[in-house]
Amino acid sequence: MNKILKFSASWCQPCNILQKQIDNLNKDKKFNLIIDSIDVDDQYQLANQYAIRSLPTLIEIDPMGNEIKRITGSLTNDQLVEFCNE
């Protein structure tokens, strides 16, 4: 099963907005977005491994950790759901 990683930082305002969007969508019983949050300040080696250059960044990875797709920046709710459900 694939996993989605969210690279962000506590000081990043767009990251905080994205997290609120995820939380709000998960309150709706139709959605269950399972996303692992990675703080780039705490886990800089993982951020370097995935060449994170902008925040927030969502990356879908396969079970071996290989990148399948990524999206960067602010997202609408529809874009977020589409990315997570593709």
Q: Is 12 a catalytic residue?
A: yes
The single residue of 4, 5, 12, 22 carrying the catalytic annotation is 12
What are 59-62's contacts with CB under 8 Å, separation 24+? 59/4, 59/5, 59/7, 60/2, 60/3, 60/4, 60/5, 61/2, 61/3, 61/4, 61/5, 62/2
Q: Are 80 and 28 in contact (CB under 8 A)?
A: no
The single residue of 4, 7, 8, 15 carrying the catalytic annotation is 15
CB count within 10 Å of CB 7 equals 25
Q: Which residues are catalytically annotated?
A: 12, 15
